[in-house]
Amino acid sequence: MNKEKNMNKGKDNLAGYTLVELLIVVAIIAILSTVGIVYYSQLRSKQRDSQRLVDMREVLLKLERYKEANGSYPWCSFETLEAWDCLAGKIPALPNDPAPAKVGGGYNYEVTAGPKDYDSMNIYLHYQLENKNNSEAIGDYWGWSQGPPAYYMYRIILRTSGPAVLVN
């Protein structure tokens, strides 16, 4: 009979995980997954920024080719918000921002003219990065959008002042 009690006693004492142990394991998994998600998110934003910089270099090259062929950069009215679309009509296969910003967003081509019969003209390319401290950024840092998400805006000055040469 003692043997039977000992056998049953062993079954009653089978060790399992306590609630505290399970909670600790769940907490560790949650922390690791949070770190992984944050890292992945940062990795994706850096990848998009790299793509934006490649795109801007490509656009600059296409604009310089256009200038060599036509004598000037393309004219797009600064009064329209669709200046990038206007530029796309003059230069084929322009890239689009991999994830346009919700505030102001994407790439922009801006032509501003002087007040007197276009006596001076400024031409800029604008783009936005998700990470401010990017050592490969092209152009001048000139502000940030308030977001969320926050984007750091850059502009590339193609031409400032001087007599305007308009090419349609």
DSSP state of 120: S
Could you tell me which residue, 166 or 42, shows the higher pLDDT?
Answer: 42
What do you get for the CA distance between the two ends of the chain, in Å? 105
Output the average pLDDT for the chain.
76
**Residue range 52-71, pLDDT digits in tens:** 889 989 988 988 888 888 88
Residue 39 has pLDDT above 70, yes or no: yes
Choose the most confident range, by mean pLDDT, from 43-47, 96-100, 118-122: 43-47
**Residue range 106-132, pLDDT digits in tens:** 787 777 765 554 556 677 888 888 887
Give the CB-side neighbour count of residue 76, counting CA atoms within 13 A: 22
Task: Supply the pLDDT for residue 109.
Answer: 78
75 CB-near residues (< 8 Å, 6+ apart): 111, 166, 167, 168
Task: Please tell me whether the peptide bond between 100 and the residue prior to it is cis, using omega within 30 degrees of 0.
Answer: no
Residue 8 has pLDDT above 80, yes or no: no
37, 45 contact by CB (below 8 A): no
Task: Supply the pLDDT for residue 168.
Answer: 38
Choose the most confident range, by mean pLDDT, from 112-126, 129-143, 151-165: 129-143
Instruction: Give the H/E segment covering residue 128.
Output: strand 121-129
Amino acid at 8: N
Residue 37 has pLDDT above 60, yes or no: yes
Task: Supply the pLDDT for residue 161.
Answer: 55
**Residue range 16-32, pLDDT digits in tens:** 889 999 999 999 999 99
Task: Supply the pLDDT for residue 163.
Answer: 47
Nearest to 73 by CA among 127, 107, 113: 113
Q: Could you tell me the two tokens for 41?
A: 């998110």
